[in-house]
C-alpha cells in the first residue's frame, strides 16, 4: 500500500472514532503539501476542515483548488488557533519537518478538545541519533528517536493505537544503517505525567 493510501485509511479510522460523539467534527489537517494525494482526500472526508502550512504559496494554491477548505499560514509549533477547538488533528509527516517535536505535541494538546483524537504519522529512528544523523538534509526532515518521541507523547496523550506503517515506497523502508521507520499514533488527551515522573510503555524511567 502506498503511504498516502495508508494515511487515508488511518484518517477514516479516526473519523469512525469521532463520528459517534460529534455530528460535524472540526478537523485540523496539518500541511497543504502534495495536493490531491494527501490533504484533499483527507480534508474531503470531513465537512469542517482546516489546514495549516508555513508555506504561503502552498496555502494559496490549496485555497484556490479547494475553496471549502479553511487554509491558514502558520507554524505547527505555534498554531494560530484558540485552545480546545478541534475534534480531530491529522498530521501525516508534518511533525518530522521540525527539530523540536515537543513544541508541536504541546500545541496539538492545546488546540484539541477534551474528547478529541489526534493522528500523527511520522518518521522515527529506532536508534539514538546524533545532531548529524538526525537531519535528513535532502527533504529537510528530522527523524525523531522513537523512545524519546513515545515518552514525550505519553506525557501529554494517551496512546490508543500505534503501529509501524509498511509501505512499498522504496525510501520508506529500512534503507539505511540507522533504521528509520514510519510510525503512526492515534492519541487522546490525558498523559501519564504524574509527580514529574516519566513513563515509557508503562515502565517508570
Residues in the site for ligand SAM, rule: CB under 6 A?
4, 31-34, 38, 52-55, 58, 75-77, 92-94, 97-98
Q: Whose Cβ is closer to ligand SAM: residue 52's or residue 71's?
A: 52
CB of 200 to ligand SAM, least distance (A): 26
**Angle of the 101-111 helix axis to the 146-156 helix axis, nearest 10:** 30
Cα–Cα nearest to 48, from 113, 1, 94: 113
Look up residue 118 and give its three cell numbers. Answer: 489526534
Q: Which residue is nearest to ligand SAM (CB)?
A: 33
Cα separation, 61 vs 163, in Å, equals 33
Distance CA 124, CA 114 (A): 27
Q: Which is nearer to ligand SAM, 92 or 117 (CB)?
A: 92
Nearest to 43 by CA among 23, 62, 18: 62
CB of 74 to ligand SAM, least distance (A): 6
Q: Which is nearer to ligand SAM, 54 or 129 (CB)?
A: 54
* Nearest residue (CB) to ligand SAM, 93 versus 154: 93
Rg (CA), the chain: 16
Amino acid at each position: 500500500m502506498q503511504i498516502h493510501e495508508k494515511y487515508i485509511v488511518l484518517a477514516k479510522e479516526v473519523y469512525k472514532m469521532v463520528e459517534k460523539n460529534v455530528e460535524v467534527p472540526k478537523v485540523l489537517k496539518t500541511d497543504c503539501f502534495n495536493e490531491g494525494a494527501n490533504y484533499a482526500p483527507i480534508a474531503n472526508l470531513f465537512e469542517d476542515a482546516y489546514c495549516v502550512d508555513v508555506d504561503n504559496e502552498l496555502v494559496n494554491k490549496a485555497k484556490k483548488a479547494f475553496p471549502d477548505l479553511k487554509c491558514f499560514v502558520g507554524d505547527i509549533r505555534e498554531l494560530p488557533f484558540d485552545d480546545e477547538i478541534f475534534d480531530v488533528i491529522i498530521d501525516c509527516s508534518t511533525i518530522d519537518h521540525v527539530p523540536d517535536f515537543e513544541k508541536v505535541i504541546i500545541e496539538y494538546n492545546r488546540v484539541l478538545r477534551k474528547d478529541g483524537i489526534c493522528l500523527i504519522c511520522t518518521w522515527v529512528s529506532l536508534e539514538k541519533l546524533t545532531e548529524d544523523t538526525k537531519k535528513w538534509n535532502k527533504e529537510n526532515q528530522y527523524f525523531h528517536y522513537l523512545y524519546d518521541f513515545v515518552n514525550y507523547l505519553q506525557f501529554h496523550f494517551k496512546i490508543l493505537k500505534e503501529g509501524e506503517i509498511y509501505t512499498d515506497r522504496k525510501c520508506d523502508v529500512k534503507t539505511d544503517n540507522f533504521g528509520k521507520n514510519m510510525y503512526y499514533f492515534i492519541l487522546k488527551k490525558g498523559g501519564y505525567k504524574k509527580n514529574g515522573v516519566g513513563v515509557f510503555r508503562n515502565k517508570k524511567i
